[in-house]
Chains A and B, each alone.
Chain A
């Protein structure tokens, strides 16, 4: 089997915590040949750590290389539109970290660029490749709980989550400014950065597009400019409900707990973390769940599965396992939630037709 040659763009938090280890895990199938990051020292460090032969401060130099089969874009969402279109125009297949984009129009342009250039585009919604969610989907498809009527996932993250992962990278921070993930110049906040997981999962499990959404959001981080907490209720076209409450600024040490519940006409699926935690430590200071991030979300294997299946689609010239249209529809829900939280009104989701090939 020929190893596919990969160029990685964006050597920040998600690249170092998930993508680069996954590529290394798949070393018999993938070869990391180059890394690009606007911070040259980060590109160099990632390249040297994971065996790439080249690194660049300008991702366009990476795209100009003729020996790259696909690029793995790990930059913030505000860059995805420009970089995905540039990669498609350079004839590269594209695996891109979620969220797909900052707007629906950007997502549509990205899909069109991939179609126009005949390259594959997949957005890395890692939870679609996570065993716990795949098992839930399988149970739904088997009809175990009848017709899905309500999906709720509450997601909790500590402010220090990525520090606790002991990774050596961090969020890109423009000089004199705050990290992009807390800056209104670069992101719309939790609705996109991680609640897009919940909008995507709810839509996947219900099997319908959204009709309307109501959301409230707030900023809890005194250093932040964008909401880091959001709660919303989505009404899908068949009347089913998707609901989530996501907060990213919990106290240091709070476990990465999720509460996924799916209520069907004939039964319920609960995959809530507290009773599932495989490892607990009790001390005078309280209880800790040291392995939550890795064990409950299966973060490592999820990204391995995701990249492996995308690579197989590239190698075999078959459809990607997750259509970019799915990611585009998740963006439609998340940006509608942002609009609702800003206007204080319930927002209708515009109807959209899936283009051929998407």
Chain B
């Protein structure tokens, strides 16, 4: 019998299909099966990859916890008591889908290994096209979680400026957070790119510190084409992020720290609360 870990992929839509394919064609893992949220877990599952969204997230955590299985889930969209209970009771880790970008994963590893020396700040931005739907869930939470995981320094204060800059709905979020050792985190996610933008999204992170500055922009991987139609950018060869995400998710299930998982929910709740008033929220 193979010693490959057997993974179940739970979710719907394109992301679930891509993750399922990544597991199916992996030489490191075996696909126990895929299912929609609420269905029984596939037989033989050893690790659950929960890529369900919205109300589908927590039932997956419950069924996996009841079965005693570790779960890697996309960052939780709710911060209520049920979410806290799920994180407290089970072997659940949240994983940002941004970790599917190999360059971001390398950046994350370097930052966490202390490449900056004494850290000064983190800047992160994720811009998508104007009119993008469910911005907070699809873009904001992954950005927040990726940034949150870069350092272990507890946060003491967060302020959010949320506004509608490019459409009728709130489409732009600006977040400034402070750590207890003065780390400054500056995050921006916005549906700010016009329809004419050559690429559908921009992702950028910088980590600054006493010894080094690390800068990563995975979406800068483009082909410049100059021809009869003028200058264009071809982004069709952006890498498939699913295989790297699967690796990251499975590896993270081995590092279960419930306190950090709950602290992320506190961070998200504070971001949302501050967005209502524009005033900072104390996290101490």
Interface residues, chain A, CB within 8 Å of chain B?
145-146, 149-150, 152, 154, 156, 212, 214-220, 229, 231-233, 235, 239-241, 243, 245, 247, 249-251, 254, 263-268, 274-275, 344-346
Q: Which residues of A contact B184 (CB under 8 A)?
A: 216-218, 229, 231, 245
Given contacts A250-B208, A254-B213, A267-B194, contact A218 B157 (CB under 8 A): no
Q: What would 24 A/B residue contacts be, using CB atoms closer than 8 Å?
A: A149-B165, A150-B190, A150-B192, A156-B213, A215-B176, A216-B159, A216-B177, A218-B120, A220-B120, A229-B121, A231-B123, A231-B176, A232-B176, A233-B176, A241-B163, A243-B174, A243-B186, A245-B121, A250-B208, A254-B213, A263-B166, A263-B193, A275-B220, A344-B157
Chain A residue at minimal CB-CB distance from B158? A216
Given contacts A233-B176, A251-B213, contact A346 B159 (CB under 8 A): yes
Q: Which residues of B contact A149 (CB under 8 A)?
A: 165-166, 172, 192
B133 within 8 A of A: no
Q: Which residues of B contact A274 (CB under 8 A)?
A: 215
B197 within 8 A of A: yes
Q: 8 Å CB contacts to A: which residues of B248-284?
A: 278-280
Task: Please state if B197 and A245 are interface contacts (CB–CB under 8 Å).
Answer: no
CA distance A152 to B165 in the complex (A): 14
Q: Looking at the complex, which one of A216, A235, A245 makes contact with B163 (CB distance below 8 Å)? A: A235
A sample of 7 more A-B contacts (CB under 8 A), given A247-B121, A265-B194, is A150-B172, A216-B177, A218-B120, A220-B118, A231-B184, A249-B210, A263-B166
Q: Which residues of B contact A267 (CB under 8 A)?
A: 194, 196-197
CB distance from A27 to the nearest CB of B (A): 39
Q: Which residues of A contact B212 (CB under 8 A)?
A: 251
CB distance from B150 to the nearest CB of A (A): 15
Q: Which residues of B contact A264 (CB under 8 A)?
A: 194
8 smallest beta-carbon distances between A and B, as pairs: A149-B165, A263-B192, A218-B182, A231-B186, A233-B174, A233-B161, A245-B186, A267-B194
Q: 8 Å CB contacts to A: which residues of B119-164?
A: 120-121, 123, 125, 127, 130, 157, 159, 161, 163-164
CA distance A247 to B192 in the complex (A): 25
CB distance from B183 to the nearest CB of A (A): 8
Task: Please state if B196 and A346 are interface contacts (CB–CB under 8 Å).
Answer: no
CB distance from A231 to the nearest CB of B (A): 4
Q: 8 Å CB contacts to A: which residues of B181-225?
A: 182, 184, 186, 188, 190, 192-194, 196-197, 206, 208, 210-213, 215, 220
CA distance A245 to B207 in the complex (A): 12
CB distance from A272 to the nearest CB of B (A): 9
B91 within 8 A of A: no
Task: Please state if B163 and A239 are interface contacts (CB–CB under 8 Å).
Answer: yes
CB distance from B237 to the nearest CB of A (A): 18
* Residue among A146, A149, A229, A254 facing the most chain B CB atoms (10 A cut-off): A149
Chain A residue at minimal CB-CB distance from B157? A344
B178 within 8 A of A: yes
CA distance A241 to B127 in the complex (A): 15
CB distance from B123 to the nearest CB of A (A): 5
Q: Which residues of B contact A344 (CB under 8 A)?
A: 157, 280
CB distance from A217 to the nearest CB of B (A): 8
Q: Which residues of A contact B177 (CB under 8 A)?
A: 216
CB distance from A216 to the nearest CB of B (A): 5
Q: Looking at the complex, which one of A215, A251, A345 makes contact with B210 (CB distance below 8 Å)? A: A251
Task: Please state if A247 and B176 are interface contacts (CB–CB under 8 Å).
Answer: no
Q: Which residues of A contact B120 (CB under 8 A)?
A: 218, 220, 229, 247, 249-250
Chain B residue at minimal CB-CB distance from A213? B161
CA distance A154 to B184 in the complex (A): 13
